């Protein structure tokens, strides 16, 4: 207490003598002068070293560009400006696939996890995931994670209202398919990166995708854009694509094959409709199928585009080609008689070829109408195997497809030099050879046209296609007449008749090969036909895989499916009727063996 009093008295004495408080001797620091100068020198040297280092790095050192790049990488970002994928339309301009704007939600995990738990629960709910799943995504050492891609814009608006730090969005597009499962095997779909995965989306990826743009910006640590640097590159949208398909015919084909599979309790089915004049694919349908807008439960069975990726033995649908070759080489005429035996059996080597019913002596036209294996086998064995092989290959069988469609298979036709007589006989009625349904349909263009075959197109055709002559116009007309007999009373496909129209075609019933052997209980029923016969407009091919009901033949399952499809397709296309027969009475359909 005494010292405190002394201090106060000293201050009063100093003040009384005119000494200022700041210069009071009591405040003086008694330090050596050299120490303050050393400190000043050290500070000066440090700043000089920093200035020298900066000068070295920025003006002298060869690492200048590297360091600038490293610095820029911490604040400068190049944003991708997505291009809009081109639309896909049918031949009449109806949209089959389009892109709608959506956003990807991304986060800086450290910042988002610092938010209140209630906000995280709301965010998880909006992203349609559990809170545990959201926290698992955020439990990352990375500074950037996607929480969900392709989020609808209305959901984005609700997420923005949460005002969560470290959460941002990125513009992107989502593909939408208005016709869903009806058109999916024709159109396909894209993945989350907007890259085509199936069908025309995949086949025309380069045309549809366009070119992305870019924009340079400066972002803060929370990912917010604070400055636009410029140096942008504008995106270029993809080109629109017009397909050959007709939406009305596609729906007809789709519903026809779906009903057939359900009616005959089949494993699967497929149908294709071709334009005779242009080779355009007007419809391509499969069942089972899937919804491209919701692929969460997609299976391999649904994904398979059976029209072009699955092969099967065509059976009796191949008989017209053997007959056409014999006619075209003047070996037979439509009236030439063949003995198909009264027993319905014909031995070739150590194998027996059978007809379902014994026909005895019949002419070439009746061989097609009754679907005689024996008659067509005798015709085939009278010709060189090389000629048959050339006929099959010119018709497109066993050839690498040029459809411009992903997944298209070539089928199989073995080299003719290895054919044994029984194999040549079997191939004449469609055994030991495999084709796709699309190949089969295309081959029938030969008979629907004047003996030439044209390329197929999945895009709308503007120029007249150039065909390759396979048989003469006269032979094509003769085979057409035989195909029309097949659907008339006495033929194997009376259920293929269409009221008001003349149609024709050929049935096929092929035994499925299971474990290397022909099954006696599993079949593929098929029908390839032409409509109308007076002026062919469509080639329609139908396949029903493994019908399990009492009926399994092509004439029983595929022919009526063809009839329903053709009837509706002809009316939808406003094709004028060419027959006065409007009421069809179906006689009992003969069942062909192959």
Q: Encode pLDDT of 259-283 as tens digits.
A: 999 999 999 999 999 999 999 999 9
| Predicted confidence (pLDDT) at residue 258 exceeds the cutoff of 50 | yes
CB distance 340 to 393 below 8 Å: no
Q: How confident is the model at residue 393 (pLDDT cuts 50, 70, 90)?
A: very high
- Token pair in block for residue 61: 């050192």
Please report, in angstroms and rounded to a whole number, the separation of the first and last CA atoms in the chain.
Answer: 126
User: What is the model's pTM?
Assistant: 0.82
Answer yes or no: 316 catalytic.
yes
pLDDT, mean of residues 102-115: 86
- Token pair in block for residue 344: 């319905």
CB distance 125 to 115 below 8 Å: no
Q: How confident is the model at residue 21 (pLDDT cuts 50, 70, 90)?
A: low
Please give the mean pLDDT across all residues of the chain: 87
| Predicted confidence (pLDDT) at residue 592 exceeds the cutoff of 50 | no
Q: Where is 5: in which H helix or E strand?
A: helix 2-16
pLDDT at position 29 is 60
Q: pLDDT tens across 531-570, in order?
A: 999 999 999 999 999 999 889 999 999 999 999 999 999 9
C-alpha distances (whole Å) from 390 to each of 245, 322, 332 are 31, 11, 19
CB distance 88 to 187 below 8 Å: yes
pLDDT, mean of residues 211-218: 68
d(CA 403, CA 308): 10
- Token pair in block for residue 463: 């120029």
For 44-58, 173-187, 478-492, which range has the lowest pLDDT when averaged over its residues? 44-58
d(CA 472, CA 469): 7
Q: How confident is the model at residue 515 (pLDDT cuts 50, 70, 90)?
A: confident
Identify the bridge partners of residue 554 per DSSP, sorted by sequence position. Answer: none
Q: Active-site residue among 98, 199, 244, 316?
A: 316
Pure H helices in 28-130: 33-55, 64-72, 109-113, 117-126
| Predicted confidence (pLDDT) at residue 7 exceeds the cutoff of 60 | no
């Amino acid at each position: 207490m005494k010292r405190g009093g002394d201090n106060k008295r000293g201050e009063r004495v100093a003040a009384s003598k005119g000494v200022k408080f700041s210069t009071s001797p009591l405040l003086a620091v008694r330090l050596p002068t050299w120490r303050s100068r050393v400190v000043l020198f050290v500070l000066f040297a440090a700043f000089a070293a920093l200035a020298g280092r900066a000068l070295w790095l920025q003006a002298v050192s060869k690492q200048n560009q590297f360091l600038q790049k490293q610095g820029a990488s911490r604040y400068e970002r190049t944003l991708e400006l997505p291009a809009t994928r081109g639309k896909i339309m049918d031949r009449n301009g109806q949209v089959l696939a389009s892109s709608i704007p959506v956003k990807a939600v991304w986060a800086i995990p450290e910042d988002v996890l610092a938010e209140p738990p209630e906000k995280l629960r709301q965010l998880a709910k909006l992203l349609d995931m559990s809170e545990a799943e959201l926290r698992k995504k955020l439990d990352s050492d990375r500074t950037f994670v996607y929480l969900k891609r392709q989020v609808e814009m209305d959901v984005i608006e609700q997420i923005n209202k949460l005002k969560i730090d470290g959460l941002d969005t990125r513009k992107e597009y989502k593909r939408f398919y208005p016709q869903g499962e009806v058109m999916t095997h024709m159109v396909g779909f894209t993945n989350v990166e907007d890259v085509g995965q199936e069908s025309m989306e995949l086949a025309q990826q380069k045309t549809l995708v366009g070119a992305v743009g870019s924009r340079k910006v400066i972002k803060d640590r929370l990912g917010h854009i604070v400055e636009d640097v410029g140096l942008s590159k504008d995106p270029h949208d993809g080109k629109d694509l017009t397909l050959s398909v007709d939406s009305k015919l596609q729906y007809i084909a789709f519903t026809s094959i779906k009903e057939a599979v359900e009616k005959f309790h089949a494993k699967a089915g497929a149908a294709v409709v071709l334009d005779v004049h242009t080779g355009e694919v007007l419809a391509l349908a499969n069942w089972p199928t899937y919804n491209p807008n919701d692929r969460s439960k997609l299976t391999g069975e649904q994904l398979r585009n059976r029209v072009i990726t699955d092969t099967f033995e065509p059976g009796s649908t191949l008989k017209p080609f053997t007959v056409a070759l014999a006619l075209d080489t003047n070996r037979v005429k439509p009236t030439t008689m063949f003995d198909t035996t009264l027993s319905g059996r014909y031995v070739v080597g150590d194998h027996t070829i059978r007809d379902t019913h014994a026909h005895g002596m019949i002419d070439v036209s009746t061989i097609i109408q009754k679907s005689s294996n024996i008659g067509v086998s005798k015709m085939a064995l009278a010709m060189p195997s090389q000629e048959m092989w050339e006929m099959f290959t010119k018709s497109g069988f066993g050839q690498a497809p040029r459809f411009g469609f992903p997944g298209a298979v070539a089928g199989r036709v073995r080299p003719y030099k290895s054919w044994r007589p029984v194999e040549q006989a079997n191939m004449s009625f469609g055994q030991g050879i495999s084709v796709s349904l699309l190949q089969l349909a295309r081959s029938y263009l030969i008979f629907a046209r004047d003996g030439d075959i044209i390329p197929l197109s999945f895009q709308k055709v503007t120029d007249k296609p150039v065909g390759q002559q396979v048989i003469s116009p006269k032979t094509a007309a003769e085979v057409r007449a035989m195909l029309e007999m097949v659907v008339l009373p006495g033929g194997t496909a009376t259920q293929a008749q269409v009221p008001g129209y003349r149609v024709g075609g050929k049935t096929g019933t092929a035994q499925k090969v299971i474990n290397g052997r022909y099954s006696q209980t599993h079949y593929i029923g098929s029908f390839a036909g032409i409509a109308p016969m007076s002026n062919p407009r469509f080639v329609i091919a139908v396949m029903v895989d493994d019908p399990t009901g009492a009926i399994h033949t092509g004439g029983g399952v595929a022919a009526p499916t063809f009839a329903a499809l053709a009837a509706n397709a002809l009316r939808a296309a406003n094709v004028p009727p060419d027959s006065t027969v409007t009421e069809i009475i179906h006689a009992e359909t003969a069942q062909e063996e192959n």
